Amino acid sequence: MADKVGSVLVIGGGIGGIQTSLDLVESGLKVYLLERTHSIGGVMAQLDKTFPTNDCAMCTISPKLVECGQNLNIEIITNAELGSVAGKAGNFEVEIVKHARYIDDAKCTGCGVCAKSCPIDAIDEYNYGLCERRATYIRYPQAVPRAFGIDKDKCIGCGLCESLCLRDAVIYGDKEQVKKINVGSIILSTGFESFDPALKQDYGYGEYPNVVSSFEFERILSASGPYKGHIFRASDAKMPEKIAWIQCVGSRDRGVERPFCSSVCCTYAVKQAIIAKEHIREGLDTTIFYMDMRTYGKGFEQYFNRAKNEHGVRFVCSRIHTVDPGSDGNLKLVFSDDDGQLREEEFDMLVLSVGFKPTKNVEEFANRLGIKLNEYGFCKTSTFSPIETSRAGVYVAGAAQEPKDIPATVMEASGAAACAEALLAEAKGSQIVKKEYPPEKDVSGLKPRIGVFVCKCGINIAGVVDVPAVTEYAATLPDVAYAEYNLYTCSQDTQVRIKEIIEEKQLNRVIVASCTPRTHEPLFQDTIRLAGLNKYLFEMANVRDQCSWVHASNPEAATEKAKELIRMAVGRAAFLEPLHTIPMSVIRRALVIGGGVAGMNASLSLANQGFEVELVEHEPELGGNIRHIHFTLEGDKPQEYLNSLIEQVQAHKLISVHLESQVKKVSGHVGHFESEVRSKKLEVRKIEHGVVIVATGGVESKPIEYLYGKDDRVITQRELEEHLANSQSTIRNPHSVVMIQCVGSRNEERPYCSRICCTQAVKNALKLKEQNPDTQIYILYRDMRTYGFREEYYYQARKAGVIFIRYDEQAKPVVSNNGRLKVEVKDPILGADVVLQPDMVVLSVAIDSHLENENLAPLLKVTLDASKFFLEAHMKLRPVDFGSDGMFLCGLAHSPKLIEESIAQAQAAAGRAATILNKERVEAGGVVSCVEEKKCVACLTCIRMCPYDVPFINKAGVAEIEAVKCHGCGICASECPAKAIQLLHYRDPQVVAKVDAMFG
Amino acid sequence: MTEHFEPEIVAFCCHYCAYGAADLAGSMRLNYPANVKIVKLPCTGKVDIIYLLKAFEDGADGAYVAGCLEGNCHFIDGNIKAKRRVARAKKLLDEIGIGGERLEMFNMSASMGPRFAEVAREMTERVRGLGPSPLRK
Amino acid sequence: MIIAEQKPIQEIKAMIAGYQKVLIVGCDTCVTICMAGGRKEVGIIASCLRMALQIDRKKPQLIEDCIQRQCEWEFVDTLKDKVDGVDAILSSACGVGVQALAERFPNKPVYPALNTTFMGMPNEHGLWVENCRGCGNCGLGRFGGICPIARCSKGLLNGPCGGSQNGKCEVSKEMDCGWQLIYGRLKTLNQLDQLEDILLPKDWSTDRDKGQRKMFRGDVYYEQTV
CATH number at residue A334: 3.50.50.60
Whether B50 has its CB under 8 Å from any CB of chain C: the answer is yes
A331 with A200, same domain?
Answer: yes
Which of B57, B91, B96 to probe by mutation at the C interface, max C CB count within 10 Å? Answer: B96
* A978: chain C residues, CB-CB within 8 Å: 28, 32, 38-40, 66
A57, A183: one domain: yes
In angstroms, the first-to-last Cα distance of chain C is 33
* Closest Cα in chain B, distance from residue A483 (Å): 22
CATH class for domain C2-118? alpha beta
The total of other beta-carbon atoms located within 10 Å of residue B84's CB is: 12
Answer yes or no: do A712 and A728 share one domain. yes
**Prior bond of A52 cis (ω within 30°):** yes
A827 and A796 inside one domain: yes
Position A923 scores a pLDDT of 82
Which chains sit next to B, with 3 or more Cβ pairs under 8 A?
A, C
Across the interface, of C10, C48, C55, the residue whose CB is closest to B53 is C48
Over 60: is that where the pLDDT of C226 sits?
A: no
Question: Is the pLDDT at B1 greater than 70, yes or no?
Answer: no
B114-130: b (≥16 Cβ within 10 Å) or e:
bbbbbbbbebbebbbeb
A375 and A247, same domain (yes or no) = no
pLDDT tens readout for residues A507-546: 999 999 999 888 788 889 999 999 999 999 999 999 999 9
**A58 vs chain B: nearest CA distance in angstroms?**
13
Percent of chain C with pLDDT over 70: 98
Q: By C-alpha distance, which of A492, A497, A394 is closest to A451? A: A497
For residue B2, pLDDT over 70 is answered with: no
Specify if A1000 maps to a domain: no
Sign of the C-alpha dihedral, residues A268, A270, A272, A275?
A: negative
Domains of chain B in sequence order = 2-110+122-129 (3.40.50)
Q: Which one of A520, A546, A581 terminates a domain?
A: A581
Q: Is residue A441 part of a domain?
A: no
Mean pLDDT over B67-90 rounds to: 91
Residue A222 CA to residue A49 CA, distance in Å, equals: 8
Q: Strand, helix or coil at C190?
A: coil
**Beta pairing partners, A291:** none
Q: Supply the DSSP symbol for A547.
A: I
A823-855 pLDDT, tens digit per residue, is: 999 988 777 899 999 999 999 999 999 999 999
**pLDDT for residue A916 is more than 90:** yes
**β A49-50/A55-56 pair status:** antiparallel
Residues A840 and A877 in one domain: no
Query: For A682, which DSSP code?
Result: -
Residues making up chain A, counted from first to last = 1000
The secondary element (H helix, E strand) that includes residue A422 is helix A406-423
Interchain CB distance below 8 Å, C8 and B95: yes
The pLDDT score that the predictor gives to residue A911 is: 97
The answer to whether residue A1 scores a pLDDT higher than 50 is no
Mutate to test the interface with B, among A971, A982, A984 (most CBs of B within 10 A): A971
Residues A458 and A524 in one domain: yes
Whether A459 is in a domain gets the answer: yes
Query: How far C122 CA lies from chain A's nearest CA (Å)?
Result: 11
Which of A147 and A983 is assigned the larger pLDDT? A983
Tell me, yes or no, whether A308 lies in a domain.
Answer: yes
Q: pLDDT digits over A294-325, tens only? A: 999 999 999 999 999 999 999 999 999 899 99
Domain ranges across chain C:
2-118, 133-210
A203 with A187, same domain? Answer: no
State how many domains chain A has: 7
pTM of this structure: 0.75
Residues A232 and A303 both lie in one domain: yes
**Do A654 and A612 meet the contact criterion of CB atoms below 8 Å apart?**
yes
Q: How confident is the model at residue B17 (pLDDT cuts 50, 70, 90)?
A: confident
Reported as a pLDDT band with limits 50, 70 and 90, residue A576 is very high
Q: In Å, how far is A477's CA from the nearest CA of chain C?
A: 27
The pLDDT value recorded for residue C170 is 94
- Cα–Cα distance list, A50 to A59, A72, A355, B25 (Å): 10, 29, 17, 15
**Whether A147 contacts A110, CB under 8 Å:** yes
Of C8, C9, C47, the CB nearest to B54: C47
Q: Where are the alpha helices (DSSP H) in B59-104?
A: 78-96
- Distance CA(A289)–CA(A214), nearest Å, equals 13
Range from A54-63, A621-630, A754-763 carrying the lowest mean pLDDT: A54-63
Residue A536 shares a structural domain with residue A639: no
CB-CB neighbours of A431 under 10 Å: 18
Distance from CA of B72 to the nearest CA of A (A): 6
Same domain assignment for residues A2 and A40: yes
Strand duo A538-542 + A581-585: pairing: unpaired
Please indicate, yes or no, if residue A993 is contained in any of the structural domains: no
Q: What is the pLDDT of residue C224?
A: 55
Whether A6 shows a pLDDT value over 60: the answer reads yes
Residue A55's CB is within 10 A of a number of other CB atoms, namely: 23
Q: Where does the pLDDT of residue A626 fall: very low under 50, low under 70, confident under 90, or very high at 90 and above?
A: very high
Contact between B110 and A546 using a beta-carbon 8 Å cutoff: no
**Which pLDDT score is estimated for A785?**
97
Query: Taking CB atoms and an 8 Å limit, are B45 and A995 in contact across chains?
Result: no
Name which of A377-381, A873-877, B100-104 the model is least confident about.
A873-877
Please answer whether residues A305 and A333 qualify as being in contact, where contact means their C-beta atoms are separated by less than 8 angstroms. Answer: no
Q: What CA–CA distance (Å, rounded) separates A206 from C21? A: 82
Whether A67 maps to a domain, the answer reads yes
Domain that holds residue A740: 700-848
Q: Closest Cα partner for B42 from A966, A548, A511, A562? A: A966
Chain B residue numbers with beta carbons less than 8 Å from the beta carbon of A54 are: 27-29
Residues β-bridged to residue C6: C114
In total, the C-beta contacts within 8 angstroms joining chain A to chain B are: 160
DSSP A482-521: EEEEES-TTSHHHHHHHHHHHHHTT-SEEEEEES-HHHHH
Q: Would you say residue A176 has pLDDT above 50?
A: yes
Which of A848, A876, A896 is a domain's end point?
A848
Domain boundary among the residues A833, A848, A863 is at: A848
Q: Is C215 at the interface with chain B, CB within 8 A?
A: no
Higher-confidence position of A228 and C40: C40
- For chain A, percent of residues with pLDDT exceeding 90: 84
- pLDDT tens for each residue of A462-490: 989 999 999 999 999 999 999 999 988 88
pLDDT digits (tens, 9 = 90+) for A249-285: 999 999 999 999 999 999 999 999 999 998 888 899 9
What is the three-class DSSP state of A631? coil
Mean pLDDT of chain A: 93
Model pLDDT, residue C225? 53
Averaged over A146-171, what is the pLDDT?
Answer: 90
The answer to the question of residue A438 being in a domain is: no
From chain A, the residues in CB contact with B52 under 8 A are none
pLDDT of residue A2: 54
pLDDT in tens, C191-223: 999 899 999 988 888 887 778 888 888 788 876
Identify whether residues A71 and A185 lie together within a single domain.
Answer: yes
